[in-house]
Structure 1
Amino acid sequence: MQVIETRSEGLKRELKVVIPAADMEARMVERLEDVKGKVRINGFRPGKVPFAHMKKMYGKSVMAELVNELVRDKPSEILSERGEKSATQPEIAMTEDEAQAEKILAAQADFEFTLNYEVIPSIELKDVSGISVTREVVEIDEKEVEEQILKIAENARTFEDKDGAAENGDRVTIDYLGKLDGEPFDGGKDEDAELVLGSNRFIPGFEEQLVGLKAGDEKVITVTFPADYPAANLAGKDATFDIKVKTVAAPGAVEINDELATKLGLESADKLREVVRGQIEGQFGQITRQKVKRQLLDQLDALYSFETPERLVDAEFENIWRQINTDLEQAGKTFADEDTTEEEARAEYRKLAERRVRLGLVLSEIGEKAEIQVSDEEMQRSLFEQLRQFPGQERQIIDYFQKTPGAAASLRAPIFEEKVVDHLLGQIKVTDKTVSKDELTAEDEADDKPKKKAGKKKAESEAAAPVEAAAEEAPAPKKRATKKKAAEDDAAAE
């Protein structure tokens, strides 16, 4: 076998692989000899079939098997011998000329194919001891815990039917039918909907018009959907709702005690406080973690500058670009609304894709050198988390990860990345700083406001692209309803 490098430009490689016809024929002969004793052909005793007859009957099919096996197995062997890693699955090209293909199958011509691929660049790891990050920590006080428990108690309190008019704080049970220009619209109808007046769950102006109604009352109300409403067909539109009030119920007292804890499946109010405190600490801890990680990745990005595999960048850009356009569509906005153009946005997100791929390669190299592994137990926990997010689709999710190439890598990559980040945090200077809740969340809240370059923060939050050499990333399972569809299914709710 000959391997001839026909292209070496930057990270791009092209190899021509030639396997002489004599070698192919020798492989075929060896394969036929192996099965000779097993073949049964009418007129011949087992093991006594003349080789020439065997070759005539099975030679081409055996050669076709050999071609498939060589194309499947040889690329990885060749790259290993060359000490190279392909950024994606190599592209393989063979002759498309039927006459030439027939000659190859008849062992009358050399078998040739080409490999096109990009190599993972060689990365010389830098000293990270000079990196320092600030870890903002919020001290959770009892007031914060009690406020959260109070909200839980308010949501869990009971209501008792009453005969009088509905007031703020009362719960009404209603049927409603929404109309645009007098015609019902999809998702604008519900029966036995429960709504606590003053909760601001429904679109502005809806709940206020129910105050004063009694059980049995009917009323037509007029509202205007917000301009940024998720369902584009309703955003900014005036609509009417035919309302029928079925019951009005007054709220019971809000009490924080062992009885409340029992309703929630806990043994005592003290245990409830402990659980709530843990949840709050977890929520703030996630924000702290993301801020620390962002600082770390920003400084790593400043340390490294190297050419990135174009195909990886293309794939990462397409992922980002698809999400950006989905966000714009769901918001009913254009690039002009975001004070940019499609061309400018493409250029910016292309740079972001390059950053993510570069950081992914760096983290991958650091993890490999540190011998960081992802255990089977960690993979199982990640899979269970996927199952929890898609209730009712457990079988489909399991089948997806078992049968889809690259799907397991999509579970492994984020776990691996977090473990590499933990490894790095043990090597750099981390300074804790106690801050208030508002200080910790200030930047994140600012990021939620409309800003130039649609979806930028969302894209940047996933700062390093997961890199799995020679593996194609498979699409994640989809939930049953999109955000837009969910919004339309409950059109009166904000």
Structure 2
Amino acid sequence: MTVTPTLNEGLKRGYTITVTAAELDAKVQEKLIEAQPEIEMKGFRKGKVPMAMLRKQYGARMMGDAMQDAIDSAMKAHFEATGDRPALQPEIKMVGGDEWQQGKDVVVEVSYEALPAIPDVDSSKITLDRLNVKAEAEAIDEALKNLAASAQNFEDKKKGSKAKDGDQVVIDFAGSVDGVAFEGGTAEDYPLVLGSGSFIPGFEEQLTGAKAGDEVSVKVTFPKEYGAAHLAGKDAVFACTVKAVKAAKPAEIDDELAKKYGAEDLAALKGQIGERLEAEYKGAARAIMKRSLLDQLDALVSFDLPASLVDAEAAQIAHQLWHEEHPDVHDHNHGATEPNDEHKALAVRRVRLGLLLAEIGRKAEVTVTDAEMTQAVLAQARQYPGQERQFFEFVQKNPQMQQQLRAPIFEDKVVDFIVAGAVVTDKTVTKEELTKAIEALDEI
């Protein structure tokens, strides 16, 4: 078996691998000898089938396996000898294709882009600010008011009062299209908060100004993309009877409110809110520090990038942004999304930083534990209530999904490793200053 270089240009590599007919024949013989004890054939006892008959019966199939094994072995030996790590799966083509004949040498052409040599990074040259924000009394009080508002009650307004946005109207309604009632279009004593947007567009606005006892004919048009196909785009009329008009009354901020949210008393609820707010601040502060770290890493290192990785990343970015601009399209049956210069520049940054973090993690022997993976799977499974078991089974059978869950954990652990060696200054700031820093990230 010989491996002959044919291309060495930048990160591009090309080789020709030749496996002689004699080597293939020896591989086939080896496989037949290995399989012989388990083979049965009419007229012979198990394990006693003559080798000539085995070769005639199974030789062709064994030849295909022998070719694959030989090429795999050659590639493994080649990567061990050169130290190359392919950026993507190598492209392998057999010279002559389907014209290969028994007894001939097998010649394959192998091409790939190698991962570049990545320079070491001196973490001590990185300087970072770790922002700290305390949950102030004003922020806790604001959060309490929001909780009270979400736990609000509705009380009857003065007789004859007109409904306005934020009020709750209790209605009976019956919907019809072309004078014919439709399924699901009727309800009694339905509590509808005006301005909530919970009904189709135009419905709630026509009840603004109504009083208890009013009969209102609400005329609307179902959206063209409405879930029920038989109603999509249709004009409808809802005969509504307003039975009550109620005003919102926020819950009292007291121990009873605290108990509704699982706290023993108001003081305990305030403590919980303070902890939650500081956890949110800490997460935001980490995002700011991580961005600063990545920016500095991006400026500290420079190395050639595999064009195949950059092109794939740019295409993925363009595709993702296209879907963000067209949220109503959930499939991929759309035209090509060509990456622009901005997509390509972002792709270069992502690929460079991705390779750098991967190399730092590899050298530092950073790993993702089984426990960490289990926690990640559990967190994802919570998004599918009632289907957690199916999600677990899906992840177990899907290596790509496992990698998607493992990658951010690995990246965060590598970031922590770099931060541990960097010069980090703790800096106390206000909530407003933290918010401005987060907004600045979005502008970049």
TM-score bracket relative to the smaller structure: 0.7 to 0.9
Aligned mates of 2:328, 2:129 — CA distance in 1: 35
Q: Structure 1 pair 89/99, CA: closer, same or farther in 2 (3 Å)? A: closer
Aligned mates of 1:444, 1:241 — CA distance in 2: 47
Q: Equivalent residue for 1:87?
A: 87
Q: Structure 1 pair 99/374, CA: closer, same or farther in 2 (3 Å)? A: same
Q: Structure 1 pair 277/211, CA: closer, same or farther in 2 (3 Å)? A: farther
- Give, as a single letter, the amino acid of the residue that structure 2 aligns with 1:214: A
Q: Structure 1 pair 246/302, CA: closer, same or farther in 2 (3 Å)? A: farther
Q: Structure 1 pair 441/22, CA: closer, same or farther in 2 (3 Å)? A: same
Q: Equivalent residue for 1:257?
A: 254
Do residues 311 (structure 1) and 308 (structure 2) align?
A: yes
The superposition leaves residues 321-342 of structure 1 with CA deviations (integer Å, 9 ceiling, x where unpaired) of 111111222399xxxxxxxxx9
Aligned mates of 2:439, 2:418 — CA distance in 1: 28
The answer (yes or no) to whether the contact 2:167–2:193 under 8 Å persists in 1 is yes
Q: CA deviation at 1:428?
A: 1.7
The answer (yes or no) to whether the contact 1:206–1:221 under 8 Å persists in 2 is no
Q: Which SS does the other structure have where 1:5 is aligned?
A: strand
The answer (yes or no) to whether the contact 1:209–1:221 under 8 Å persists in 2 is no
The answer (yes or no) to whether the contact 1:6–1:15 under 8 Å persists in 2 is yes
Q: Structure 1 pair 435/356, CA: closer, same or farther in 2 (3 Å)? A: same
> Which has the larger displacement, 350-359 or 119-128?
119-128
Aligned mates of 1:222, 1:72 — CA distance in 2: 66
The superposition leaves residues 60-116 of structure 1 with CA deviations (integer Å, 9 ceiling, x where unpaired) of 11112223444556534431332121112222222463341x42xxxx012232322
Do residues 278 (structure 1) and 275 (structure 2) align?
A: yes
**Map of 1:39-50 to 2, 5 A cutoff?**
39-50=39-50
Q: CA deviation at 1:160?
A: 4.6
Q: Equivalent residue for 2:396?
A: 402
- Give, as a single letter, the amino acid of the residue that structure 1 aligns with 2:153: T
Q: CA deviation at 1:241?
A: 8.1
Q: CA deviation at 1:201?
A: 7.6
**Map of 1:188-227 to 2, 5 A cutoff?**
194-197=191-194, 206=204, 210-214=208-212, 217-220=215-218
Q: Which SS does the other structure have where 1:330 is aligned?
A: coil
The superposition leaves residues 278-321 of structure 1 with CA deviations (integer Å, 9 ceiling, x where unpaired) of 22112222221111111111111111111111121122112211
- Give, as a single letter, the amino acid of the residue that structure 2 aligns with 1:291: I
Do residues 300 (structure 1) and 297 (structure 2) align?
A: yes
Aligned mates of 2:14, 2:394 — CA distance in 1: 33
TM-score with structure 1 setting the length: 0.74
How much is the aligned-residue C-alpha RMSD, in angstroms? 3.7
Q: Structure 1 pair 2/42, CA: closer, same or farther in 2 (3 Å)? A: same
Q: Equivalent residue for 1:171?
A: 168
Q: Equivalent residue for 2:348?
A: 354
- Give, as a single letter, the amino acid of the residue that structure 2 aligns with 1:397: F
Aligned mates of 2:73, 2:244 — CA distance in 1: 71
Q: Structure 1 pair 241/118, CA: closer, same or farther in 2 (3 Å)? A: farther
Q: Equivalent residue for 1:469?
A: none
Q: CA deviation at 1:12?
A: 1.2
**2:144 counterpart (113, 129, 149):** 149
Q: Structure 1 pair 136/36, CA: closer, same or farther in 2 (3 Å)? A: closer
> Which has the larger displacement, 267-276 or 439-448?
439-448
Q: CA deviation at 1:157?
A: 2.8
Aligned mates of 2:130, 2:47 — CA distance in 1: 76
Q: Structure 1 pair 298/208, CA: closer, same or farther in 2 (3 Å)? A: farther
Q: Equivalent residue for 1:3?
A: 3
Q: Equivalent residue for 1:477?
A: none
Q: Equivalent residue for 1:442?
A: 436
Aligned mates of 1:174, 1:23 — CA distance in 2: 85
The superposition leaves residues 366-416 of structure 1 with CA deviations (integer Å, 9 ceiling, x where unpaired) of 112222221111111111111122334434432332222332221111111
Q: Equivalent residue for 2:423?
A: 429
Do residues 125 (structure 1) and 120 (structure 2) align?
A: yes
The percentage of counterpart residues that share the same residue type is 38
The answer (yes or no) to whether the contact 1:163–1:214 under 8 Å persists in 2 is no
> Which has the larger displacement, 356-365 or 32-41?
32-41
Q: Equivalent residue for 1:365?
A: 359
Q: CA deviation at 1:427?
A: 1.7
Structure with bigger RCO (C-alpha 8 Å, 6+ apart):
1
Q: Structure 1 pair 253/382, CA: closer, same or farther in 2 (3 Å)? A: closer
Q: Structure 1 pair 368/174, CA: closer, same or farther in 2 (3 Å)? A: farther
> Which has the larger displacement, 352-361 or 314-323?
314-323
Q: Structure 1 pair 145/413, CA: closer, same or farther in 2 (3 Å)? A: same
Q: Equivalent residue for 1:335?
A: none
The answer (yes or no) to whether the contact 2:156–2:245 under 8 Å persists in 1 is yes
Q: Equivalent residue for 2:375?
A: 381
Q: Equivalent residue for 2:230?
A: none
Aligned mates of 1:161, 1:440 — CA distance in 2: 42
Size of the alignment, in residue pairs?
A: 420
Q: Which SS does the other structure have where 2:129 is aligned?
A: strand
> Which has the larger displacement, 378-387 or 242-251?
242-251
Q: Structure 1 pair 130/315, CA: closer, same or farther in 2 (3 Å)? A: same
Aligned mates of 2:271, 2:219 — CA distance in 1: 45
Q: Which SS does the other structure have where 2:273 is aligned?
A: helix
The answer (yes or no) to whether the contact 1:159–1:249 under 8 Å persists in 2 is yes
TM-score with structure 2 setting the length: 0.82
Aligned mates of 2:216, 2:206 — CA distance in 1: 15
Aligned mates of 2:237, 2:303 — CA distance in 1: 60
Aligned mates of 1:189, 1:112 — CA distance in 2: 71
The superposition leaves residues 241-296 of structure 1 with CA deviations (integer Å, 9 ceiling, x where unpaired) of 85734653344552122322222233332232222222211222222111111111
Aligned mates of 1:273, 1:266 — CA distance in 2: 9
Aligned mates of 2:276, 2:383 — CA distance in 1: 18
Q: Equivalent residue for 1:32?
A: 32
Q: CA deviation at 1:354?
A: 0.7
Q: Which SS does the other structure have where 2:404 is aligned?
A: helix
